[in-house]
A and B are shown apart, each in its own frame.
Chain A
Amino acid sequence: MEKTFTEKIQICKKNKIAGLYPTTKFQVVILFSISTIVLNSIKLTDFKLALLLIPWFLLVPFMFAITGEFKKCMKAMKAISFIAIFIMVVQTFIVSGGKTLWVWHFIAIREKGLQTGLSLCFLILNIAGIFVWLFQSTSTKEITRCLEDTKMSFKVAYIFASTLEMIKVFSSKSKIILDAQRARGVETEGNLFIRAKAFIPTLVPLILGGIIGSEERVLTLEARGFSMKGNKTHLFNLKKSGYERIILTISIIITILILAGRIYLWIMN
């Protein structure tokens, strides 16, 4: 029997981790972030480096893999990795303090620099990585529906969903504006200065168009009963994958163990 439209718009994920309820995923993200911060406070070796963040980071690609979204997540991690490595290099060579570990002409690595660089790099990789996992394995539709389920104001849920969707719209609009400006003789190709100059004639119509469009969109929503009081129907509904309790329990246990380890080390020192 052919599915109805309402049945077709439901999201059914075969992968039980990918299909976790968004709230559970968010709780995992929070617990992982707390654990990351706690692990960052544990300094190892004579140079006091947060080395535990490195094996901890292995959990991130592991999560990508068990969710079945490894390639998609790794693609999103590329830019983050670039920023994290850049920050590590800059911090390592710029921050001074502590012993000098290595010198070559005027370039030097100092203890404090290495500590800050490594710590910041892996904090970013871990926390951003887990957020990448959340957003790549959960659609905007699922997050919005989940926000509505948590009794959040439907207006806030709408703003969240439309903002994410509008990023795509603005990106395609900017390409159209860029083409139009190019047709009018605005130089858009060339060195950084030329590209920066082309940025303003692109940005102004994009922002103004966005503002004008938003007014009409508000009225469109009003015309469709957006602010009507009373219960709303939802064609799209979220289902739990059944693994929520297990995953959350494992996450809580790991976080407690890390916290306990941290407290133990404090007492011992």
Chain B
Amino acid sequence: MDYELECKDVTYTYPLAQKPAIKELNLKIEKGKLYGVIGENGSGKTTLCSILRGFAPSFYKGDLTGEILVQGKALASYKDQISRKIGYVFQNPFTQISGIKNTVFEEVAYGLENFGIDVEEIEKKVINIMQLTDIMELAEKSPFELSGGQMQRVALASVIVLEPEILIIDEPTSQLDPQSTESVFKIIKKLKEEKKTIILVEHKVDLLAEYSDEMIVLHDSKIIKQGESREVLSDLSLREYGIRLPEVTLLSEKLREAGLDIDQLPITKNQILDLIEKKRKGE
């Protein structure tokens, strides 16, 4: 089976660093799935994203051993064409604008201009994406005048418009308020429905539990657990590594401790509602 992304025994060390930032990474990313990445600060989440996109070592330099494959081909072989395959959204909304465009419309269209796409097609694609990301009313505003949440939506739109098959999103909501966070996750949900392959780094585990298909847990530069979201996030032993578990899971654990018979701990609101419903019916 050809995976969208595959890492084989990858170890990466930043220049001048004593220890590797990522150690013995083995990872297989399947098409159309949303992978949540969690871990403590400094566990290697952003480095993992940089490696998967090829920024490390091409931009950051440093030493990388092992093999990274994108749709079966070596990542390095894509050269400048990699931006067509993999989209990347960064953590900080304020540094993600090009800095040279006067309107949000132009900002979103910037990548397509670089790709050399026809003007009519650019206009069509940008309008579609602005509608999808709910930024149509911002189209003629200056990107410098936007709030953090609006800027992050513009950043997402600017990447999605390039129609990459794989999308890496690194803590997109870390600097946003709850309302903006919700709007960003709405976009991610729409992308998931479009069967995009998404790798999402996020600290908000409750939201990850809701949206992700699989989870990757990093600790001390290594993957310590990987698998189906419910299986991973209901593993209470992850707390030993400083990982926060969903509120629903913690509540269910308390209920189990109080004597309720729960086979597998739920991780989402719907799952706990199902559980309550079953218990109510006496199943």
- Are A227 and B80 within 8 A (Cβ)? yes
Q: Determine if B119 is an interface residue (Cβ-Cβ < 8 Å).
A: yes
Q: Determine if B100 is an interface residue (Cβ-Cβ < 8 Å).
A: yes
Q: Determine if A217 is an interface residue (Cβ-Cβ < 8 Å).
A: yes
Contacts of B155 in A (CB 8 A): 220
Partner of A4, one of B111, B115, B116, B123: B123
- Are A232 and B102 within 8 A (Cβ)? no
Contacts of A9 in B (CB 8 A): 102-103, 105-106
- Are B95 and A220 within 8 A (Cβ)? yes
Q: Determine if B98 is an interface residue (Cβ-Cβ < 8 Å).
A: yes
Contacts of A217 in B (CB 8 A): 95-96, 98-99
- Are B53 and A223 within 8 A (Cβ)? yes
Interface residues on A, range: 35 or more
Q: A217 CA to B126 CA in the complex, in Å?
A: 21
Which residues in chain A, 143-196, are within 8 Å of chain B measured between CB atoms?
Answer: 144, 158, 161-162, 165-166, 168-169
Binary interface encoding of chain A residues 1-23 relative to chain B, with 1 for a CB under 8 A from any of its CBs, else 0: 00011101100000000000000
Among residues of B, the one whose C-beta sits closest to the C-beta of A216 is B95
Partner of A235, one of B106, B115, B127: B106
Binary interface encoding of chain A residues 194-205 relative to chain B, with 1 for a CB under 8 A from any of its CBs, else 0: 000000000000
Nearest CB of A to B127, in Å: 7
- Are A235 and B119 within 8 A (Cβ)? yes
Which residues in chain B, 69-103, are within 8 Å of chain A measured between CB atoms?
Answer: 80-81, 83-84, 87-88, 90, 92, 94-100, 102-103
Q: Determine if A55 is an interface residue (Cβ-Cβ < 8 Å).
A: no
Nearest CB of B to A218, in Å: 7
- Are A219 and B90 within 8 A (Cβ)? yes
- Are A223 and B119 within 8 A (Cβ)? no
User: Given A220-B95, A235-B106, A235-B119: A229 and B127 within 8 A (CB)?
Assistant: no
Q: A166 CA to B100 CA in the complex, in Å?
A: 9
Partner of B144, one of A169, A222, A224: A169
Nearest CB of B to A156, in Å: 13
Contacts of B111 in A (CB 8 A): 223-225
Q: A203 CA to B220 CA in the complex, in Å?
A: 35
User: Given A223-B88, A224-B159: A230 and B116 within 8 A (CB)?
Assistant: yes
List the interface of chain B (C-beta within 8 A of A).
Answer: 53, 55, 59, 80-81, 83-84, 87-88, 90, 92, 94-100, 102-103, 105-106, 109-119, 122-123, 126-127, 139-140, 144, 155, 158-159, 162
Further 10 A-B residue pairs, CB within 8 A, beyond A5-B127, A220-B98, A223-B88: A9-B105, A9-B106, A169-B99, A169-B144, A220-B95, A222-B83, A225-B111, A231-B116, A233-B115, A235-B113
The 5 tightest CB contacts between A and B, nearest first, are A224-B111, A225-B114, A216-B95, A161-B100, A223-B88
